[in-house]
Structure 1
Amino acid sequence: MSKSNSEAADVTSAWARVEDWLREYAPTSHASILPPATEAEIEEAESQLRHHCGYGFPPELVALWRVAGGVRQLDIDEYDEEGEVGTGQFLPHGLLLTPAQSIRPRLAGFDYQGKDYWEGAQWAAPFGNYSEATDTGLYLSATGLGKWSSYEGMFMGEPLYPSIAAYLEAVGRTLVEGPAERMGSDVPGIVYGCLIWQDPQSPRLDETAADWRPVH
């Protein structure tokens, strides 16, 4: 099996474990997963990335989009009056972006004169803190998966995981086996049928905090 085929198998297997868990324990989050992205959607986004940056999407990311094209926010206002709970925010560090959403952070580094504020770094943004994905999220480069932000200048941290598959495998093991703190201070919990990660000592949920229950 070639390296690209192996990467595709690894990421789809890791995603399936997370999706199976969501289907059983967090059905609202599971329902927020979009169908597989079409080849046209992937090719359109990749053509823009190649035009501006000179490179395309990593095969591992394309393999993930071929089983899950991103996520959407479902309306659960009858339970969540403050709109705090993001049904698609079931992963730590960010939500899975669509192909079109994923190129925004990288292309935002080019101003009208074509200057690249990311200084030629080659990366894609599989995950963002929200669908517009222009402030922070997780990048994927040849060195792995790490955090990026543009809050106070452009910043790319050291890789946290060697691949998307390794990241999703860690998510799956945390959900199924524990411990809750396997991936850091944010731990998984359920509220209104949604998987939400937060630090119990400093919860990000406010009005709905009392309804959140940790998985472990």
Structure 2
Amino acid sequence: MSDDGVGQAGAEAVRAAWGRIDGWLRQWAPGSYARLAPPAEPGATAAAEAALRLRFPAELRASLGCHDGAGGEGVLPVKPPLSAAGIVRYWTRWMELTEEEREFGDPEEEGEPSWHPRWIPWAESDGDAQILDGREGPGFGRLGMKYHDEEGLFGDDAPSLAAYLTEVADVLENGGSVGGRVPYLAVSGVLWWAEAPAAPSGGR
């Protein structure tokens, strides 16, 4: 998919969101800010695209241009972002696991396949990854999940990477939750995310 105006707007939103996240972390959670890698070298991103044989969505290239992954949990509410090299490693591992499959998914079956070559992992831990849909069409660039023992999962309202990072920035600055997770600060100056407490039932 070419970098049209929509793609560029998404890339700008990613850079703006990371700028806000970085500023908040520097002030309130310097230990977590230290976990963020510097920007990826342009050659590293290009090499990752070549390895996957596809051009990354503009939003992912923008994110890698801000941080080439993170060294540990807690910076983001779901999974820590991968480096360009980490994207290649995770994608390659799943391609090897499915190399004997001649087709990715049965068109007669509902749901997503266990893996698709145009899924791009962008954040991962413990074998589970947030993925970006690199398939052409209306779902291009949507954010989903790939659990190591399940098929891929995209919700009906799966956000783009820009929407996800913007939501994280909004919650850090103004409070609230992201996907049912709320941020909190450890004494050590590290950010973590916990499941939001259930709302009390009525009657008391």
Is the structural similarity TM-score above 0.5?
Answer: yes
The answer on 1:109 being equivalent to 2:105 is no
Note the alpha carbon deviations across 1:149-196, whole angstroms, 9 max, x for none.
122x433242654311100111111111122xx323321011111110
- Residue 147 (structure 1) aligns with: 145
CA distance in 1 between partners of 2:98 and 2:172 (Å): 46
Report the AA paired with residue 62 of structure 1: R
**Does residue 1:177 correspond to 2:180, yes or no?**
no
Cα distance in 2 for partners of 1:21, 1:98 equals 22
Shift, 1:103, TM fit: 2.7
Which of the residues 32, 40, 43 maps onto 2:35? 32
Asked whether 1:5 is paired with 2:8, we answer: yes
Amino acid at match of 2:185: I
Aligned 8 A contact 2:98 2:115 in 1: no
Taking the aligned partners of 1:69 and 1:149, their CA distance within structure 2 comes to 22
Name the CA distance, whole Å, in 2 between partners of 1:127 and 1:24: 24
* Structure 1 ranges of 4+ moved more than 4 A: 116-119
**Conserved in 2, the CA contact under 8 Å of 1:102 and 1:126?**
yes
- TM-align CA RMSD: 2.4
Aligned length: 177
Report the TM-score, using the length of structure 1 for normalisation. 0.73
SS at match of 1:188: strand
Letter in 2 for 1:124: I
Could you tell me how far apart the structure 2 residues matched to 1:92 and 1:129 are? 12
Aligned equivalent of 1:45: 48
Structure 1 gap ranges (5+): 74-85, 203-216
